[in-house]
Amino acid sequence: MSRRKSEKEYEKTFACHFFRWLDGEKDPFIGQVEMQQQEAFREGEGDAERRLQEKNILLNQIYGRKKSRSIRNLERFYKVASVVFCGILIYLLLLTVSFLPPIGVAQRPINNEVSARYIEKGLQETGAINIVSGMILDYRAFDTLGESHVLFVATVTVLILLRMDKGKKDYAGVSLEEVEANDRRYEPKNDAILQMAAYLLVPVIIIFGVYVILNGHLGPGGGFSGGAIIGAGLILYLNAFGFEKTERFFTEKTYKRISFCSLSFYCIAKSYSFYTGANHIESIIPKGTPGAILSSGLILPLNIAVGLVVACTMYAFYVMFRKGGF
Amino acid sequence: MAEWLCLIGGTLFLLTGIVIFAIELYGAYHYHYVLNRMHMAAFGDTFGIGVSLLGLMIINGVNFTSLKMLLVILFLWCASPVSSHLIARLEVATNEELETHMEVEQE
C-alpha cells in the first residue's frame, strides 16, 4: 500500500480492485451482469401426496408391478445381477491394467509398424490424399460404422423420451396440436429480416456442406463436419420459414428412409470390402487416380452416407426438442 | 517497396481491428443491459472482424485465400446482424419491464 494515500482512498483505486479480483475476494459478475438467482425449492400443499400418487401410478400402470409376480422377481434379480456384473467388470479391467507394459520403455506396443504403415503406404492402399479420411473410413471403418450407429441410437433414445403422437392427450394434459399452436410464441414469427437472410444463406451453407463432404478424401473435411454444416443450414431454414415449409421435403418418413438407407449401405459396403480383404480376393471397386474427385474406392460413398446420417440426426434432435415430433 | 507498403497497410488494419475488439470486450462487460451488450458484441462481430480480415487480405495479396477471407466477411456481415436482430426481438417480446430501461414508442 502506498504511504501517501489513506486506506479509504486506496480502496477506490484501480489497483485495489484489480488485486482483489486477482485474489478472488470479489466476483466481478455479481451486481454487474444481469443474473437471476434460482428460486429455492418450496413444496406446496399436497405436493408430497401427489408425488406419491404419481409414483404409484408409474409403478402400477407402466411397470405393472401389481400385475404379475414374475416381474417383481425379475426386478430383484436385476438389482443383484447388476451389482455382480459391475463387480466382474471392475475386476476384469483391473486385471488388464496389471498386464499393461511399464511406461517409458521403447518396446511398448504403441511403437509398432501400424502407424508407420499408415504413413508410408496409406496413399497407395486407400487412394485418399487426406490420410485421416483414409484411416477412419478404410483401415478403421468398423469404428466409424459404430460412431454413425451411435448417432442413430441417440436419436432413437431422444425419440423415446420426447416423442408426441398425434391425437393423444397423455402428455401432462397437452396434445401435439396445442404444442404446435404454442410453438411460435417466442420464436421469430415470419420475421422479414431473418427470412431474407435465410433466403440468401441457406443455399450457400448447404452447398458448402456438400463440398466438405465430397472433398473428404482430398482435403480437410468429411462426413461428420459436412453433415453438421448441412444440419445447421436445415435448422436455419426451419427457424426462418417454419414447419410448413420444411415438412414439404423433410418429414419423419424422410428421416427413416435416409437413416436406414445410409446405415445399411455402409454395413453392406464395408461387409463386402472386409470379405474380399479377409479372403485375399481382388475387390471390384477401382481405386482411381489419387487427387481426382472420383477416387479412393469406397471412401467417397461412405463419406456421403455418414454425412446424410449426421445431417438428419442434427435436424431431428432440434425438431424433437422444439416440438416433440416431426 | 510494394511489399513493404502492403505489410505496413495490412498491419495498420490489423491493429485497428485489435483495438476494436478491445473496445467490444470492454463494452460487453461495461454495460449491464442486454441490448447494450448485444450492440457491443455485434459491433465487434461485424466491424472488428471485417477490418482485421481486410488487413490479412492486404498482407496476403490477391489469391484464392484472400477470396475465401472475403467470403467469410460477407457471410459474417449477413449472419451477425440478423442474430443481433433476433436477440433484440426476443428481449422486446419477453421483457415486461421494458419501460424501465428505455423509452418505448406507443403505437
User: Residue holding cell 495498420?
Assistant: B12
In 3D space, the residue among A41, A15, A20, A40 whose CA is nearest the CA of residue A30 turns out to be A20
Tell me whether B76 touches chain A (CB under 8 Å).
no
Rg for chain B, CA atoms, rounded: 18
Q: Are residues A269 and A173 in the same domain?
A: yes
- 8 A C-beta contact, residue A121 and residue A294: no
Of A186 and B36, the structure prediction assigns the larger pLDDT to B36
**Domain for residue A70, yes or no?**
yes
Highest-scoring range by mean pLDDT, A17-26, A247-256, A304-313: A304-313
Q: Are residues A69 and A136 in the same domain?
A: no
Q: Are residues A83 and A188 in the same domain?
A: no
CA gap B104, B107 in Å, rounded: 9
pTM: 0.71
What is the per-residue pLDDT across A106-137, written as a single tens digit (0 to 9) for each? 777 777 777 788 888 877 777 778 888 888 88
Q: Are residues A57 and A194 in the same domain?
A: no
**Domain for residue A186, yes or no?**
yes
**A168 pLDDT band (50/70/90 cuts)?**
low
Q: In a 10 Å sphere around its CB, with 0-12 CB exposed, 13-18 middle and 19+ buried, how is residue A316 labelled?
A: buried
Q: What percent of chain A has pLDDT over 70?
A: 86
C-alpha distances out from residue B104 to B31, B34, B98, Å: 20, 16, 7
Q: Give pLDDT, residue A1.
A: 47
Q: Are residues A199 and A275 in the same domain?
A: yes
Residue A311 lies in domain:
129-322
- 8 A C-beta contact, residue A122 and residue A287: no
Task: Tell me what the mean pLDDT of segment A133-147 comes to.
Answer: 85
Nearest to A197 among B33, B78, B94 (CB): B78
For residue A300, the Cα-to-chain-centroid distance in whole angstroms is 22
How high is the ipTM of this complex? 0.79
- 8 A C-beta contact, residue A286 and residue A297: yes
A56 vs chain B: nearest CA distance in angstroms?
A: 38
B28 vs chain A: nearest CA distance in angstroms?
A: 10
Q: Are residues A198 and A245 in the same domain?
A: yes
Q: Are residues A193 and A294 in the same domain?
A: yes
**Domain for residue A292, yes or no?**
yes
B/e letters for B22-38, b = 16+ CB within 10 Å, e = fewer, are ebbeebbeebeebbebb
Of B70 and A101, the structure prediction assigns the larger pLDDT to B70
Judging contacts by C-beta atoms under 8 Å, the chain A residues touching residue B90 are 186
Q: Are residues A178 and A266 in the same domain?
A: yes
| Lowest-confidence region among A122-136, A137-151, B47-61 | A122-136
**Domain for residue A118, yes or no?**
no
**Domain for residue A291, yes or no?**
yes
Q: Are residues A159 and A206 in the same domain?
A: yes
Tally of structural domains, chain A: 2
Count of all residues that appear for chain A in the document: 326
The dihedral through the CA atoms of A62, A68, A70, A72 has a sign that is positive
Q: Are residues A201 and A279 in the same domain?
A: yes
Q: Give pLDDT, residue A170.
A: 60
